[in-house]
Amino acid sequence: MPRIRMWGRPNSLCTQRALWGCAEAGVEVELTLASATNGPQGNIYNGFKPYGIVDSAEYRAMNPNGTVPTIQDGDFVLWESNAILAYLAQKYAPGPLHDGQLQTFVRACQWMNWTNEYLEPHLHTLVMELVRLPPAQRSAERAEKARQGLLKPLAILEAHLAKLPFVAGEAFSLGDIPPGAAIQRWLLFDLERPAMPAIEGWMRRLAARQGFHRHVAPAAFHLA
Ligand SMILES: N[C@@H](CCC(=O)N[C@@H](CS)C(=O)NCC(=O)O)C(=O)O
């Protein structure tokens, strides 16, 4: 089994993408816990120590952003979780992440980038306002604005999945990973939302996958 190194933290959606992708690609991961904001007891907003590492000169030489995840495969280093998924899919394709067809691959990339653009900013606000900030610093108004901001992109995803079982077509692909992890977090927030039967059916299909089950499903990776 191929083996890579990864720096990240289990409650980061971006790290979850990379870990789930590795599980699909049959790649073993040696994970080093790393973060400037989260640590073993909790997050810095509540006074806890972060895992660290990301501010070290060695880490910044690999990833100048100081973000997670970063992977190292032999002497090849890569950051940006969607690029990591694309790398895993290309290196280990055709396989569970990608059917080897250019159009499937770019359709998957379309939904991965869409997740960053339309879901992530609102989800980041929600995780801060509902989970990570101490109660006295939270704003119900900011949380409500983010909830409302998600409704339009969720309606777009719902309409798409009413026509297809997976975002890039008939089969699971790397394109399901970023929105799948994002929607798992959104559902766990349990906020008011319209009926989304197509998204819920797709999430049941994703829940059957081992990588999702292990790296994305646990509520503790989203609500702590
Ligand atoms: N677009 C980047 C975002 C990277 C990013 O901001 N990662 C977050 C976790 S999801 C992070 O590093 N947070 C600060 C930290 O944990 O130190 C990606 O997809 O990899």
CATH number of the domain enclosing 71: 3.40.30.10
Q: Is residue 220 part of a domain?
A: no
Strands (E), 9-151: 28-33, 70-73, 76-79
Instruction: Specify whether 116 is located in the same domain as 166.
Output: yes
Q: Which of 7, 9, 13, 14 to mutate to test the pocket of ligand 1 (most atoms within 8 A of CB)?
A: 14
Rounded CA gap, 74 and 5, in Å? 9
Q: How many domains does the chain have?
A: 2
CB distance 43 to ligand 1 below 6 Å? no
Closest by alpha carbon to 182, among 127, 113, 111, 120?
120
Q: What is the pLDDT of residue 185?
A: 98
Q: Which of 37, 63, 92 corresponds to the end of one domain?
A: 92
Rounded CA gap, 197 and 203, in Å? 10
Gap from CA of 195 to ligand 1 centroid (Å): 30
pTM to 2 decimals? 0.98
Instruction: Specify whether 115 is located in the same domain as 168.
Output: yes
Q: What is the pLDDT of residue 50?
A: 98
CB distance 68 to ligand 1 below 6 Å? yes
8 A C-beta contact, residue 73 and residue 4: yes
Task: pLDDT band for 140, please (50, 70, 90 cuts).
Answer: very high
Note down the domain range covering 43: 3-92
Q: What is the pLDDT of residue 180?
A: 99
Distances (CA, A) of 61 to 71, 83, 111, 198: 13, 18, 30, 43
Task: pLDDT band for 95, please (50, 70, 90 cuts).
Answer: confident
Instruction: Specify whether 68 is located in the same domain as 130.
Output: no
Tell the residue nearest (CA) to atom 6 of ligand 1.
67
Q: Which of 45, 67, 185, 222 to mutate to test the pocket of ligand 1 (most atoms within 8 A of CB)?
A: 67
Task: Give the tens place of pLDDT for each residue, 177-222.
Answer: 999 999 999 999 999 999 999 999 999 999 999 999 999 999 999 9
Instruction: Specify whether 109 is located in the same domain as 194.
Output: yes
